[in-house]
Structure 1
Amino acid sequence: MSEKVCDHHDTARRKMARRCGAALLSFVFVFLLIILLVWAILQPKKPRFTLQDATIFNLNISAPNVISTTVQVTVNSRNPNSRIGVYYDRLDVYATYRSQQISYYTVIPPVYQGHKDVNVWSPFLYGNNVPVAPYNGIALAQDQSNGAINLLIKINGRVRWKVGSFISGRYHLHVACAAYIPIGNSKNTGIVIGYAVKYQLSQTCTVNV
Structure 2
Amino acid sequence: MSAKDCGHHDHYCRAKRYRLIFFAIAGLIILVLLAVFLVWLILRPTKPRFILQDATIYVFNVSETQPFTLTTNMQITVSSKNRMERVGIYYQKLDIYATYRSQQVTPPTSLPTNYQGHREIAVWSPFLCGESVPVAPGLMLALHQDQNVGAVLLNIKIDGNVKWKVGTWFSGKYHLNVNCPAYIKFGERNNGGIVVGPVMKFESAVHWLHCGCLSQ
Question: What TM-score, normalized to structure 1?
Answer: 0.85
Q: Using the alignment, how far apart are the partners of 1:61 and 1:19 within structure 2?
A: 77
Moved more, 23-32 or 76-85: 23-32
Find the counterpart in structure 2 of residue 113 from structure 1: 116
CA shift in 2, pair 1:142/1:28, >3 Å: farther
Q: Using the alignment, how far apart are the partners of 2:80 and 2:93 within structure 1?
A: 14
Equivalent residue letter for 2:204: C
Gaps of 5+ in 2: 209-216
Find the counterpart in structure 1 of residue 203 from structure 2: 204
CA shift in 2, pair 1:26/1:193, >3 Å: farther
Find the counterpart in structure 1 of residue 53 from structure 2: 52
Equivalent residue letter for 1:106: T
Number of residue pairs matched by the alignment: 201
Matched, 1:90 2:93: yes
Matched, 1:172 2:172: no
Moved more, 29-38 or 172-181: 29-38
Equivalent residue letter for 1:123: P
Alignment of 1:1-209 (within 5 A): 12=14, 16=18, 18=19, 21-62=22-63, 63=65, 65-183=68-186, 189=187, 192-199=189-196, 200-209=199-208
CA contact (8 A) 1:78 1:117 kept: yes
CA shift in 2, pair 1:57/1:21, >3 Å: farther
1:146-201 deviation per Cα after TM superposition (whole angstroms, max 9, x unaligned): 23211000000111111011111111111100000123xxxxx2x53211122212
Equivalent residue letter for 2:30: F
Question: What TM-score, normalized to structure 2?
Answer: 0.83
Equivalent residue letter for 1:82: E
Shift of 1:21: 4.9
Shift of 1:59: 0.9
Q: Using the alignment, how far apart are the partners of 1:78 and 1:192 within structure 2?
A: 31
Gaps of 5+ in 1: 184-188
